[in-house]
Structure 1
Amino acid sequence: MPGDQVQPTPRILLTQAELAAIANAMDRAEGVGEHAERLLAELTLARRILDGCPAGVAVLDRDLRYLYVNDALALLNGVPAADHIGRRLPDLLPDLESSEQLLEQVLRTGVPQIVTVGGQTPADGAGDNRWWLGAYHRLSSSSGEILGVAGVVLEVTDALRGREHLVRAGNRMALLDEANRTTGATLDLRQACQALADLLVPRFADYAAVDVADPEGTPRVPSEHYPLRLRRIALATTPELAEVSSPLGRLDEFVVHRAGSPMAHVLADRRPLVLSHPDDEAMRQFSPSPERKEHLLRMGAHSGIYLPLAVHEELVGAVMVFRAGDSPRLTDTDTELLGDLTDRAATGIAHAVRYTREHETALEMQRAFLNAPTVTGPGVETLGRYLPAGSGAEVGGDWFDTLALPHDRTLLVVGDVMGHGVRAAAAMSEYRSVLRTLAIQGSSPDFILLQAERTALTLELDRVATCLLALLDPRRERVTFSNAGHIPPLLVTPDGTRTLLSLPVAPPLGVGLGSFTATTVPLPPGSVLLLCTDGLVERRDRDIETGLHTLATLPITPTAPLSTLLDTVITHLDPTASEDDVAILLARTKPTPDEPDQLGWLPPGWAKPRPGVKPL
C-alpha cells in the first residue's frame, strides 16, 4: 500500500543480473573449479525456468513477505514484480480471498497444500471475480532452518466458469425435464397445474397461480377485442405469504381480463408481461382489479411476471408468479427460464384440459341418458346406479335401462359399449335407443338382440357392445334372459339362496356373429336380481373369476331396501378402485293381483278407462 513502510527481509535469492555478474567474474578469475561453474550454470538455468514459467511463481519469507515473484504472477496480480518484494499478500491484494492462514499452516506443519482462491486483483477491470489454483510448500535449508514458503499459481477462471455453465445448463435441463414429466404424467387437470405451481414455488417465486382458459368465456384464438375468462386451477405460496395472499384468488374462481387490457394482450400476443421495478401503474396492469393491486403492494411484491400457456395457436391458460420481501428481483435469466418451463408444461396441461373437457362431456351425456324417465311394470321395483371411473380413466359407455311392456312385464337392460370417451357415450345412446324401440314391439329377449345386431350392422356403428336382457314376468313368476357377451346376473331368492346364473353367451352386438339364446328361470315373488357391467368385478390386479365369486357371495338380504342392497354391493366390491366405469341395476319382484288385465298394456301415464267409458 502507498505510504506503508516496507520491512527489511533477508535475501535468499539472487537476481539474474547478480548471477550474470558472478559468471563474468568467474570467467576473469583463474583457478575456478569445474564444480563451481556447473553449480552456477544450474542456478542460472533454474532462475530462467522460474522467470519464464507461464504459471505464477512466488517465494515468501518466514513473515510471509514476498521475496520473489516471476513476471507471470506479477501480470496475474496486476502489480509490478518489484512492488511485491517485502510486502504481505493482504497489503497488495486486499480484494482477494485471504489465504494467509493456509500459508501459515504450511509454514508451521511443512505439509504442502493445494487451494483455489477467488476475488479481484488490480488487473481486473470488469469487476467480475476470478479464480486461481495455488500449490504451496515449505522451504527449508540443508540444516533444517525454515526459510519460507514457495507457491505456484495458475488461473482457472475459464475452466470454473465453463464448469459452472455446464452445471447451470444441466440444472436447467433437469428442471425442464421435471416440468415436462410432472405435468405430463397425469390427465387430471388439477394435478397437472398444481405440479407446475409446486415446481415454481419456492424455487423461483414466493407466489404462483395457474389459470386455465374457460372454453365458454374465452375464444379459441383470443384477441384484444374480446374479454378473456380464466379459471384458477392451482396455487402455491411460501408459508409466510399463505394467509396474506388468500385475497388474491381462490381455487376454481373465475378471473376475467377485460378486452384491450394488458393481460388480454399477453394472452393474445403470447408475450409475457414482466415487472422488474413495479410502480402503481405497472402493478395495476399486473392485477385485474384495484383490490388485488392493493394486496400485492401490501404483501411487498416487488417483481413478477405473467406468462401465457399456449400450444401452437391454442390458448391453454396463464401463469402468474411474483417475488416479495427479501427475495431477489426477477432477472432476465429467471424470466427466460420461466418462459421455457411454462412452454414445456403447457403441452402436458393442454392434454389434461382436452381430456377433462371430453371426460366431462361424456359424463354429462351419460347422466343425461341415464336420467331419462324409466318405468317398470306392476310387481317390480328397480334401482340403478352409474359410477364413472376414477381419476386417470375415461368415461365409458356403460348403461342400464328399464322398460314397462305389455302384460305387466318389465325389461331390464344392462350394457357396455367398448371404448371410452364421447364416441363411446354416443354409441351407447344409439344402442339404448335401438333396444328400446325393438322391445316395445313385444319380441322375446333373444329376438330383440338379433334385431339389434342387424340394426347395428346396418347403421355401421363403429363400437361393439356387450348386453344382457332380462324380461321379468311377475304374474308367471319367471324371468327370461338373453346374453350378448356380458357377465352373468346374480339371482337371490326369498329364502336367501344366491345363484350366479350360468347363461349361454353369444358374441357382443356389432360383431356380426350373433346367434342368441333365450333362457327362462323361475322367479318367486320377493326375488332380487343384480345386473352389472364388468367394471364392478374386474381389476387389473384381480382376476375376473375372483370378482365374480365375491359377487356371488355378497351378504344380500332379499327383504332389505334396494338402496341398502346397493350400498352393500358398492361396499364389498369397491367400484371406486375400478379403471372402468360401472353400471349396476337391482330389481325385486313382488306379488301381483290375480285378476287379468282386461285392457292389456297401456303406455306409461295412460289411465285405464272407467267402466262404461270407451278408450280413445
Structure 2
Amino acid sequence: MLGVAAVVLDVEGRIVFWSPQAEELFGYDAAEALGQYAARLLVGPEHLEKVVQLFARVLSSGESWAGAFPIRHKSGGEILVEFRNMRLQDDLGDLYALGIAVDHSTVTRVETDLALSDKLVAQSLTGMAMLDTDLRYVLVNPALARMNGVSVEEHIGRRVGEVLPDVDAEALEGLLREVLRTGVPVLEQYTIGRTPAYPDEDRTWSVSFYRLDDAQGRVLGVAGSVADVTERHLASLEAERSRRRLALIADASVRVGTTLEVERTARELADVTVPELADVAAVDVLDHVLSRRRSGTPHGGPELFRALAVKGDSSPKALEAADPVGSPAMYSADRLVTRCARTGRPVLVSHVEPADLTRIARSPEAAELLRDAGVHSYLAVPLIARGEVLGALDLKRTVNPLPFDEDDVLLAGELAARAAVSIDNARWYQSVRNSAVTLQRSLLPGRPPSAAGVEVAARYVPAHASSEVGGDWYDVIRLSGDKTALVVGDVMGSGIDAAATMGRLRTATRAFADLDLDPAEVLRHLDRIMQELEHYIATCLYAVYDPRVAECVMANAGHLPPVLVPETGGPAALVELPTGAPLGVGGVEFETTRVPFAPGDELVLYTDGLVETRNDPLDERLAALVALLDEGRRPLEATCDRLLQAMRRPEDPDDVALLIARSRTPGGGAA
C-alpha cells in the first residue's frame, strides 16, 4: 500500500543498495544510483549540510532518525519524503546506513484513513467485528460489546457460540464460512436470539458479512456489521399481521353468507378461520335458537348446543374430540363455551393448562384427545345477531405456536359478528321457507291415487332461492268410465296470493273434471274464472286418458308441450299441440287434440321450472329433456329422480311440478 523504498549507504555515503521501489520513488534506476554519493544525487545544495550531519549522527551513535525531508527527483522537481534511517553492521563489522523512504503524501493519506477508520469503528453505533479464518474474534468495537453484553477483551480469540450461547451460532458460522469460501458478501441477514445484555427477551439483528483480502489476494478473515433492528422488526411484523387481519376480514365478507343456509354459512365461517386464525374451529349454535323456541334451561343449568361445522385439517385428534356435526351436545354451566354463550362475552385462555381442558372438552375422553393433539391456546367468541346470542365460535391452536391474544379476540369477534348476522338471516329464512313449502304442499295432492289403466308418479320441488311459495301444481283426477284426468299448471308469480290462486284453480279444475267436459271446454271455464282474478294469469295443460280407446285427449293453455315416450315404434318426442293462450288472457279459443296412448306408453307433464334457465336456449333444454327420456325404460319414480337430478340446478329460482303417467292394460299390467 505504501510503496516503501529501501536505500543502503556505506560509511562514505555512497549508494550500495537500491530497491525497485526506490527507482519508482526517486526516478533513478539502479545503474544511475549505485556507487553515487546519495547526498549529491538526491539533495539540493541548501539541504546538503543538514543531510551530512544526520548521516554522521546515525553512523556514529547508532541512533535512528525519522522525519520528512525534501528530496530532488530525477525529473528536477522536489518531493517531500518520509524517512526512517538506522545503522546496520555486517558480520565483518562494517557499518552501513539503511534508509526506508515513502512518499510523504501517501503516508499522510494512510494515516488519515486509519485514524478515520479507527474513529468510525470505535464510535459507531453499529456493532463491528473482524474474525479470522478460524472464525475467532480479532477485533470488536464497543458498540458490539454493549450489544452482546460481553466486554471487548472477552470476545478476542473466541468463537460466536462461545460468546453468545443463546443465538443460532451454527447458522451464523455457516454464513461466515460461505463468505470466506466465495468472497460474496451477505447483506442484511436477519437473525434472532438472546444475549447476556438481553437474557430474557428475543432480539432481532441485521447482520452483514464481507471477506477481507490483502493486496496479494490472501484471505485475512471476515468483517461483520451488526445492527439491532428489534423495534423495526416488531413493527414490520405488526404491520404484516394487521394486513393479514384486514385481508381475512375482507375474505370473510366475500366467503361467509353466500347462501341462506344455516349449515353452509357455519361451514364458511369455519373455513375462513382455519388455518389463518386457528388450527381447529367449531361453530356451535344453541339448539333452541335453531328451532326458534325459548330456552327451557334454568339459569345456571347446562345448555344444549348443536355443532353446525367443525374444521381442522392438521389436528385429527382435536377433530375426534369435537362434537359430531349436526348432533346435539349438552354442556354444563362450568364449560367455557357455555359461559361464552351465557354472558355474550369472549372467553380467552392464552395458555391452556391440563385443568383447562376439562372445561373445554365435552367429556374426560375428549379432554385427553385435546391434550394429545397439543391444544395450548383456546378462544371462544359469541355469535350475536340483533342482540340475541346464537351460539359461539370455538377456536383452538395446536400447530401454530403463538397463543391467542387480545388482537385475536378482536379479529375473531369481528368474524363472528359478521357470520352471526348471516346465520340469523339464514335461520329466519329457513323457518319462513319451511312454512311456505308446507303451505304449498298442503295445496297439492298427496300421493297420486291409483287409477284404472294408468300408473303415475309425481314430484313437487320448491324454488331454492325464494322464501315465497310458488304457483306450480299437478293433479291426478279419477273420472267415470275408468278415465283419468292429468293436469299440470303454473300460476305466474309467487307469494301467498299465487298459492291461493293455484288452490282455486285446482279446486275448479276438479269440479269441471267431474262434469266429464271436453278438455278445451274445461280450459274455457277456467279462463273465465281467471279473468275475474286481478293481476294473475296461469298456464295449464289438461289431458284425459281413456284406456278403453288407448288415447289421450288434451288441450293446452299456453303451457309447454308434454313428452310422449312410446314403448315401441319410435323415440320420445314432444307432443304437437296448439299452444293456446294462458288462462286469464281471454278472447282465445282452446282446441282439443287426440293423441294415441297405447299400453306401456309414457306421458311426461312438467312446468317451466324444469327446463327454463337464464342462460340456455329453451329449444336446447327441451331437446335435453327428450334425450334423457330416450335413454331407456325405468320405474316411474326413478325417472322422476333422474329428470330432476339432470335438469334441475340447486340455485334455480323457480319451483317445479312434474307428473309422469304410464298406460297399462285394463288387467293392470303394462303391455
Give the TM-score normalised by structure 2.
0.66
Write the letter of the residue equivalent to 1:454. Answer: Q
Quote the Cα distance in structure 2 between the aligned partners of 1:557 and 1:55: 82
> Unaligned 5+ residue runs, structure 1?
1-25, 593-616
Distance change (3 Å), C-alpha of 1:82 and 1:496: same
Measured after TM superposition, the shift of residue 450 of structure 1 is 1.7
Write the letter of the residue equivalent to 1:170. Answer: R
Report if the CA contact (8 A) 1:276-1:329 is conserved: no
Quote the Cα distance in structure 2 between the aligned partners of 1:111 and 1:574: 66
Measured after TM superposition, the shift of residue 467 of structure 1 is 2.6
- Within a 5 Å distance, the mapping from 1:466-615 to structure 2 comes to 466-471=539-544, 481-491=554-564, 500-506=574-580, 508=582, 513-522=585-594, 526=598, 529-538=603-612, 542-549=616-623, 551=625, 564-565=635-636, 567-568=638-639, 571=642, 574-575=645-646, 577-578=648-649, 579=652, 580-587=654-661
Larger radius of gyration: 2
Quote the Cα distance in structure 2 between the aligned partners of 1:189 and 1:151: 60
* Aligned residue among 315, 318, 340 for 1:266: 340
Write the letter of the residue equivalent to 2:619. Answer: E
- Within a 5 Å distance, the mapping from 1:148-227 to structure 2 comes to 148-198=221-271, 207-214=280-287, 215=289, 217-219=291-293, 225=299
Who is 1:296 aligned against?
367
Task: Render the CA deviation track for 1:297-342: whole Å, top value 9, x for unaligned.
Answer: 4652665444322333354443334457x98584325545444443
Measured after TM superposition, the shift of residue 134 of structure 1 is 1.8
Quote the Cα distance in structure 2 between the aligned partners of 1:287 and 1:59: 57
Measured after TM superposition, the shift of residue 78 of structure 1 is 3.8
Distance change (3 Å), C-alpha of 1:124 and 1:452: farther
Larger RCO, structure (CA 8 Å, separation 6 or more): 1
Name the % identity. 32
Report if the CA contact (8 A) 2:489-2:559 is conserved: yes
Does residue 440 of the first structure (1) align with residue 511 of the second (2)?
A: yes
* Aligned residue among 73, 88, 94 for 2:165: 94
Who is 1:450 aligned against?
527
Query: Could you say what secondary structure the match of 1:59 adopts?
Result: strand
Task: Render the CA deviation track for 1:181-222: whole Å, top value 9, x for unaligned.
Answer: 443345554444334445556666665433344446555899
Who is 1:430 aligned against?
501
Quote the Cα distance in structure 2 between the aligned partners of 1:239 and 1:167: 24
Distance change (3 Å), C-alpha of 1:259 and 1:94: closer
Query: Could you say what secondary structure the match of 1:430 adopts?
Result: helix
Quote the Cα distance in structure 2 between the aligned partners of 1:299 and 1:45: 63
Who is 1:234 aligned against?
309
Measured after TM superposition, the shift of residue 29 of structure 1 is 8.0
Report if the CA contact (8 A) 1:383-1:585 is conserved: yes
Quote the Cα distance in structure 1 between the aligned partners of 2:337 and 2:292: 13
Measured after TM superposition, the shift of residue 414 of structure 1 is 1.0
Measured after TM superposition, the shift of residue 138 of structure 1 is 1.0
Distance change (3 Å), C-alpha of 1:505 and 1:313: farther
Quote the Cα distance in structure 2 between the aligned partners of 1:41 and 1:246: 74
Measured after TM superposition, the shift of residue 583 of structure 1 is 1.9
Measured after TM superposition, the shift of residue 399 of structure 1 is 1.8
Query: Could you say what secondary structure the match of 2:472 adopts?
Result: strand
* Aligned residue among 111, 115, 121 for 1:44: 115
Measured after TM superposition, the shift of residue 100 of structure 1 is 3.8
Write the letter of the residue equivalent to 1:447. Answer: R
Measured after TM superposition, the shift of residue 502 of structure 1 is 3.4
Distance change (3 Å), C-alpha of 1:540 and 1:273: same
Measured after TM superposition, the shift of residue 533 of structure 1 is 1.4
Quote the Cα distance in structure 1 between the aligned partners of 2:368 and 2:455: 61
Quote the Cα distance in structure 2 between the aligned partners of 1:337 and 1:448: 64
Distance change (3 Å), C-alpha of 1:110 and 1:207: closer
> Unaligned 5+ residue runs, structure 2?
1-64, 71-79, 82-103, 667-671
Measured after TM superposition, the shift of residue 487 of structure 1 is 0.4
Quote the Cα distance in structure 1 between the aligned partners of 2:631 and 2:140: 101
How many positions carry a matched residue from both structures?
A: 549
Query: Could you say what secondary structure the match of 1:194 adopts?
Result: helix
* Aligned residue among 377, 381, 385 for 2:458: 385
Give the TM-score normalised by structure 1.
0.71
Instruction: Report the RMSD for the aligned CA atoms in angstroms.
Output: 4.8
